[in-house]
Amino acid sequence: MKFLRILRTSLRALRRNVLRAALTTLGIVIGVAAVIAMMEIGNGSTMAIQRTIATMGAFNLLVFPGNMATAGVSFGSGSSITLTPGDADAIVTECPSIIAAAPIVRTRTQIVYGNRNWAPNSMMGTTPAFLEVRDWTEMAEGEAFTDRDVRNCSKVCLVGQTIVRELFAGESPIGKDIRMQNVNMKVIGVLRPKGANMMGSDQDDIVLAPWTTIKYRVTGTSVSTPNLSAAAAAAASATVLPSQVYPNYSLSLYSVPSAVQTTDTPAPVRFAGIDQIVAAARTGEQVPSAIEEITALMRERHHLRGDMPDDFNIRDLTEIMKTMSSTTELMTNLLLIVALISLVVGGVGIMNIMLVSVTERTREIGLRMAVGAQGPDILRQFLTEAVVLCLLGGIFGIGLGRATSWVVRVVKHWPTATSLGAIIAAVVVSATVGIVFGFYPAWKASRLDPIEALRYE
């Protein structure tokens, strides 16, 4: 009730000089508008920058197999094969911070098309999830292979821009077969250009295929013989088996095991080892929790007891992450400084006019005191006026700022993003400016002597 009365008195006083009130609050309007517009444009830019950095793989986590040590000699990271495609699937389904994960099988061979040949920098067998992880789902041409291709060991592949240039001399490779270790692979898609990575190696010099195809067809291992020398031996023995050369030749080199023998000595089931898993966290903030989740999951899946060391390594791209967070921080600080300066300028304007107003209305103050207003009543009245002025300025500023950012978005096509935080901050800050800069004039008014004030000309 009382507050409403004070508010009404203040509004009435402001209405007595609308133009001046509007000009007074212009500083706040422009300040708040600048803050809102900058925040919205800045937020949009930050998001755009983050998206760009994310395509560089900022949220990516790399899981490598652990090292193997024999007789005190360590073979370094990745020397033992402990990761399986199942691990990749489990990471996606069981780690809430992970949005996608893909197994990777690496190889390096020559690829041939027509009379040209080339040895790509990286040849990877993977799943379609890899494209999601690397933010590479849109093809420049053709389309990506599917999970079905992975299950079927389809002889299909995707090639990078460098391959198109070097192997196909720029013509479209879609539908053409390239030869890879005597396996014909049909090119079904061309990846979009990504350029060099941070270390300068060409990311477009790449061939992607289903990991099953690379593992079982190209590198020549099979499910039951995961290890390369065994595979070679098997292949060697397979080619020279007399039974294949002479179908009627029934000599068996080894005695055929009986059913009992087979049951007694089951063939050891080996998982298909993979070289690496790449996973993408949902956001930058979730990278640490993603690492924890993957560690816990892998230890469980690999049956590691509490005191046993991890048989895998997880790496994140700390450097890129740091770049991103420092970019964001810089942006935020810059905006904060701009905001502070403009609001202080606006606040000084408010204080200036409020002081003028107090002087100008000395007689009114004297009259109010003569009819019984006490110091605090006068203080409250002028403080309310200042705060109302600032809040109105803030509200207009928010509208103006949003309009500005809308214009920028529509006309200049800059990315903008609404910032609720900025709006709340603008209201709070403009009210605070009103209180801080309105207090001194109001206090001065409340300290006037009614006799002097009534006599003031």
Partner 1 sequence: MDLLELRGVCKTYHLGEVDVPVLKGVSLSIAKGELVALMGASGSGKSTLMNILGCLDHPSAGEYWLDGKEVSGAGTNERARLRNRLIGFVFQSFNLLARTTALENVIMPLNYAAEHLAEHEMRERGAELLRKVGLSERMDHQPSQLSGGQQQRVAIARSLINRPRLLLADEPTGNLDSRTSEEILDMFKNLNQSEGLTVILVTHDPGVAEHAKRVIRIRDGLIEKS
Q: Which of 165, 375, 403, 424 binds partner 1 (CB under 8 A)?
A: 375
Q: How far is the CB of 340 from partner 1 (least distance, A)?
A: 36
Which residues lie closer than 8 Å to 184 by C-beta, 6 or more apart? 155, 177, 178
Calpha distance 413→362 (Å, rounded): 52
Least separation, in Å, of the C-beta of 373 and partner 1?
A: 5
Q: Report the length, in residues, of the chain.
A: 457
Taking residues 271 to 310 in sequence order and writing x for each that binds partner 1 by CB under 8 A, - otherwise, the string is: ----------------------------------------
Q: Give the amino acid at 284.
A: G
**Min dist. Cβ of residue 19 to partner 1 (A):** 13
- Write down the least CB distance from residue 375 to partner 1, Å: 7
Residue whose C-alpha is closest to residue 434's, from 34, 31, 17: 31
Chain positions 380 to 399 lying near partner 1, rule: CB under 8 A, are none
Burial class from Cβ neighbours inside 10 Å (0-12, 13-18, 19+) for residue 177 reads middle
Distance CA 248, CA 242 (A): 9
Stretch that binds partner 1, among 26-34, 187-195, 231-239, 373-381 (CB under 8 A): 373-381
Please select the residue that binds partner 1; options are 22, 295, 377, 431, rule is CB under 8 A.
Answer: 377
- Mapped onto helix, strand or coil, the DSSP state of residue 268 is coil
Number of residues this chain uses to bind partner 1 (CB under 8 A): 23
In the complex with partner 1, the residue whose CB is nearer, 308 or 370, is 370
Asked if 250 and 165 count as a contact pair (C-beta separation under 8 A), the reply is no
Measure the CA–CA gap between 409 and 11, rounded to whole angstroms: 36
Q: Between 5 and 148, whose beta carbon lies closer to partner 1?
A: 5
Considering only residues 2 to 61 of the shown chain, the ones binding partner 1 according to CB under 8 A are: 2, 5, 9, 12, 15-16
Structure tokens at 13: 């006083």
Q: What are the residue ranges of helices labelled H in 135-187? A: 147-152, 161-168
Minimum distance from residue 42 beta carbon to partner 1 (Å): 43
Instruction: Choose, by CB under 8 A, the member of 74, 93, 227, 374 that binds partner 1.
Output: 374
Q: Residue 102: which of 145, 70, 69 has the closest Cα?
A: 145
Output the six-digit token pair for 166: 């070097």
Tokens of 436: 């801080």
Q: Which of 7, 314, 355, 373 binds partner 1 (CB under 8 A)?
A: 373
- Identity of the residue, 313 or 362, whose beta carbon is nearer to partner 1 in the bound complex: 362
With residue 332 as reference, give the H or E element that holds it: helix 318-360
Q: Which is nearer to partner 1, 339 or 365 (CB)?
A: 365
Nearest distance, CB of residue 389 and partner 1, angstroms = 17
Residue (289 or 362) nearer to partner 1, CB? 362
Q: Name which of 124, 154, 131 is nearest 274 in CA terms.
A: 124
> Looking at beta carbons only, is 4 or 269 nearer to partner 1?
4
Whose Cβ is closer to partner 1: residue 209's or residue 448's? 448
**By C-alpha distance, which of 184, 189, 145, 143 is closest to 163?**
189
Tell the smallest beta-carbon distance from residue 387 to partner 1 (Å): 18
H or E stretch at 107: strand 98-107
For the bound state, the minimum distance from the C-beta of residue 367 to partner 1, rounded and expressed in Å, comes to 5
Told to check if 267 binds partner 1 by CB under 8 A, we report no
Is residue 203 within 8 Å of residue 195, measured between CB atoms?
yes
β-partners of residue 123 are: 107, 207
Query: Please, what is the minimum distance in Å from the beta carbon of residue 15 to partner 1?
Result: 8
User: CB of 396: closest distance to partner 1 in angstroms?
Assistant: 23
Longest CA–CA separation in the chain, Å: 132
Q: Scan residues 333-372 and list those touching partner 1 (CB under 8 A).
A: 363-364, 366-372
Binding site for partner 1 (CB under 8 A): 1-2, 5, 9, 12, 15-16, 363-364, 366-375, 377, 450-451, 454
